[in-house]
Chain A
Amino acid sequence: MDHHHGPHEHGHSHGPGHSHDHTHDGDLPAALDLSVPDPELSPAELDRRAFLRRAGLAGAGAAAASVLATSGPAAASEPGGRTRSGGYLWLAGDHHIHTQFSPDAQYRVIDQVSHGARYGLDWMVITDHGGPAHARFGVDKVNPDIKAARREVPQALVFQGLEWNIPAAEHATVFVAPGPNEVAVLKQFETDYDGTVKNASAGTPANEALAVAGLTFLERQVRVRRVADALMLANHPARRGVDSPHEIRGWRDAAPGIAVGFEGAPGHQAAGIPTPLGPGSGRGFYDNNPSAASFAGYPPESYRTFGGFDWMTSTVGGLWDSLLAEGRPWWITANSDSHKVYADWSKNPVDNNADAPYNAAGDTYNNSGTYGDPVYAGGIQTAYGDFWPGYYSRTHVGATAFDYRAVMAGMRAGRVWVSHGDLIRGLDVRVRVRDGGRDGVTLGGQLKVRRGADVDVRIVIQLAGTPNLAQVIPTLARVDLIAGAVTGAAGDRDTFTTPDTKVVRSYEVGRNTGQVVLTHTFRNVRDPFYLRLRGTDGNRSTPGLLGAAVDPAGPAIDVVGDADPWTDLWFYSNPVWVLPPSPVRG
């Protein structure tokens, strides 16, 4: 069924109004009946299910339910409440989390992991800052805490990683699959390739080469099976303008299996809450400007967020699209960058003075690689700009199983979408050849088609249904379908625009419960292209930076000191490629 809506229709909802028709056996309370997904439980039932889960009793209900259940809904729950749809288990996670092992943070590993699990995360990566003290002490010391968290919070996969100071550039998440060498590999990587450890921060060709060498080192560790897998994603890439387009292309091309993407939205999403109740800074702590160290070509607006998202991602036809137009994978994520949580009661025991002793033995951060545990701060801290993992930003990965390798494989494959404030709970995208008789592909996938084929896109969205952590059930106002030509390798590796990408269709939704199905057909496909999705609560939309013909209603630039994250919610998907045979592909 084809829904056609121009960009100016408002208000009325549509979609077949397909709600989950679940009947549960009278003997089983809804909390025990795992055919009823979490979002459809009442708050009391959800609490009951969470209690049963923690007590290890939820599974007993599942055994009974599987005997009694009839046909499952389109999105069915696994034991543990995770959603399987489109053939994948969708696992929510966060690959950018700091602890007391970072010089500018404070929480125990177990604090971050237990909060993240409480807020529904299935996987997390602990990414403390690279630096001399971390390389010598922290990378070793954090590992037992991570292992303890894995035991104490079995419903979450906890990876060890680090926030790499990319030589010549900004920061990146680097992490490895758990294994006997996880620490050894990360320690060697940090010692030999961290920009702060090696004093290699300046944007020189030699330092750029060191970054590439670090990525090929990781690739080698995987190839020789010292670790089972490794990934790198650049964090907050536009924040200081020091990740030049050619460096991003360089990381991708040097190690395409390892360097797979960047944050589409930074963490620190509470940073723009106005004073005196908040930090009063730029959303994402994006309050910088061009400097002597920055790439001269980046315009001033690139140093601010748009609807909470990084300019590289939020600009339709911008840097991210210029990478996708080359026909090479590059994925986006969204994470907390959690250092200090907005309105938390605690603080670092020595106020993050890395040379101040935090115990009687005289240990400091710099000589021990860690701080002591957080202490009571005397009141809520409104200058902190972060959320707990999973509280606001989520990266959803389509995995084949609930395990470490599957999460990493799903990220590499681009089966990833991101959300803020739980604007939506589920996203299933299928792109298939019309009358092709096959399932087609999903996010990150490549659909091979013959020239002249019609291609159908089917988008199934699970709307919010239950309140987010601001106690509001957000309304999905609009979904945009964005498409762009694959034009092959860019001649200028510092290109950050592509002229062929634009919003091709917008759907007015205006609902916040149940499920909505959106469809589109690309007819007579002759040239390779990609498509991706974006959706919003519609509160702040404005023509995009490249003009209304490209993006009539995109995210607005965030106001420094006045950016309420809860009133400006977006979700983004990663792309799907449609590839007829073409000599243009580069």
Chain B
Amino acid sequence: MRTVLGVDAGSETPAEAEHLLLDLADRLGAGPGAVLCTHPVRDAAPHYAISLDLPGAPAAVLAAATALVTPTSGLAAVPAAIPAAADSALAGTGPGAGPVRGGSGERQGAAGEVAAAHAAGTSGRAVRFPGADRLTGTVPVAAVLAGTAIDGITVLGGGTADGCVLHTRDFVRPEWRDGRLVLLVLPAGDGRVAPFEVPNPTPCCATHG
């Protein structure tokens, strides 16, 4: 069973969560085998939590991670570019995971849930995964399935992606579903498919967001 970390630092947008996720992963020495995910947390103040599956000695990783979270002041030593998260929690699941650290009860609950969901493959939106760096420009679907950790491609609205090419928009975010890492795509004309999620969705309007 894998050891997966969950962190809830109250990130308000997916972009913020991704930034925190990649920074944390770097500081914990994440290699190419890492799977890093964001998760929506639908509570009274909707926000995003993150989960990290870092292959390598679980004890060492956990020690490094727990050094970042103190019971009283949450996520420590964050770089200036990342919003400081006083209320943040770290949880782990799997061998040697240890207790949840830091943060309020809600943060701890979410951190634990996202770690467990990632470990079980039930949910989580993968920002980095093995082979992700190859997914730029246009890539044949067969190469996506053969050369990355993506297990399957689902075409929204029905149909198959077999024989198609993936127009990546340099932004590919597969999701854990039933233990498989699945990329949702839409037809994009003429033997092409593109990820359902677009890189910069139209903001609501100028007044908020």
Task: Knowing A204-B44, A293-B46, A560-B194, say if A103 contacts B189 (CB, 8 Å).
Answer: no
Min CB gap A539→B, angstroms: 14
Q: Which of B157, B186, B207 contacts A560 (CB 8 A)?
A: B186
Stretch at the interface among B57-65, B86-94, B195-203: B195-203
Task: Knowing A202-B44, A289-B197, say if A557 contacts B202 (CB, 8 Å).
Answer: no
| A562 CB–B CB distance under 8 Å | yes
A271: B residues at CB distance < 8 A? 202
| B208 CB–A CB distance under 8 Å | yes
Q: In the bound complex, do residue A290 and residue B40 qualify as a contact, i.e. CB atoms below 8 Å apart?
A: yes
Q: In the bound complex, do residue A559 and residue B186 qualify as a contact, i.e. CB atoms below 8 Å apart?
A: yes
B157: A residues at CB distance < 8 A? 301, 542, 545, 556-557
Contact with B along A95-131 (1 / 0, CB 8 A): 0000000111000000000000000000000000111
Q: In the bound complex, do residue A282 and residue B202 qualify as a contact, i.e. CB atoms below 8 Å apart?
A: yes
| B205 CB–A CB distance under 8 Å | yes
Q: In the bound complex, do residue B201 and residue A287 qualify as a contact, i.e. CB atoms below 8 Å apart?
A: yes
CA distance A352 to B45 in the complex (A): 29
Which size bracket describes the interface of A in this complex?
35 or more
Considering only CB atoms, which chain A residue lies closest to B193 in the complex?
A: A559
| B206 CB–A CB distance under 8 Å | yes
Q: Which residues 33-60 of B sit at the A interface, judged by CB distance below 8 A? A: 40-42, 44-48
| B188 CB–A CB distance under 8 Å | yes
Interface SS majority for chain B: loop
Q: In the bound complex, do residue A202 and residue B46 qualify as a contact, i.e. CB atoms below 8 Å apart?
A: yes
Task: Knowing A287-B198, A292-B48, say if A103 contacts B205 (CB, 8 Å).
Answer: yes
Q: In the bound complex, do residue A292 and residue B47 qualify as a contact, i.e. CB atoms below 8 Å apart?
A: yes
Interface SS majority for chain A: loop
Q: Which of B46, B158, B188, B202 contacts A288 (CB 8 A)?
A: B202
CA distance A271 to B202 in the complex (A): 11
Task: Knowing A289-B196, A292-B47, say if A165 contacts B207 (CB, 8 Å).
Answer: yes
CA distance A352 to B207 in the complex (A): 11
| A488 CB–B CB distance under 8 Å | no
Which size bracket describes the interface of B in this complex?
20 to 34
Q: In the bound complex, do residue A561 and residue B188 qualify as a contact, i.e. CB atoms below 8 Å apart?
A: yes
B196: A residues at CB distance < 8 A? 289, 300
| A250 CB–B CB distance under 8 Å | no
| A201 CB–B CB distance under 8 Å | yes
CA distance A293 to B186 in the complex (A): 23
Q: In the bound complex, do residue B188 and residue A240 qualify as a contact, i.e. CB atoms below 8 Å apart?
A: no
| A440 CB–B CB distance under 8 Å | no
CA distance A294 to B201 in the complex (A): 14
B42: A residues at CB distance < 8 A? 292-293, 296
CA distance A304 to B194 in the complex (A): 14
| B109 CB–A CB distance under 8 Å | no
Q: In the bound complex, do residue B46 and residue A292 qualify as a contact, i.e. CB atoms below 8 Å apart?
A: yes
Task: Knowing A103-B207, A129-B207, say if A560 contacts B47 (CB, 8 Å).
Answer: no
| A498 CB–B CB distance under 8 Å | no
Considering only CB atoms, which chain B residue lies closest to A301 in the complex?
A: B156
| B102 CB–A CB distance under 8 Å | no
Task: Return 19 A-B CB contacts under 8 Å, by A number.
Answer: A103-B207, A104-B206, A171-B205, A202-B44, A203-B46, A240-B204, A282-B202, A288-B202, A289-B196, A289-B197, A291-B14, A292-B48, A294-B40, A301-B156, A301-B157, A354-B206, A542-B157, A560-B198, A561-B194
**Residues of B near any A CB (own CB < 8 A):** 14, 40-42, 44-48, 156-158, 184, 186-189, 194, 196-198, 201-202, 204-208
- Per CB-CB distance, the 6 closest pairs between chain A and chain B, nearest first, are A292-B46, A292-B40, A104-B206, A103-B206, A557-B157, A131-B207
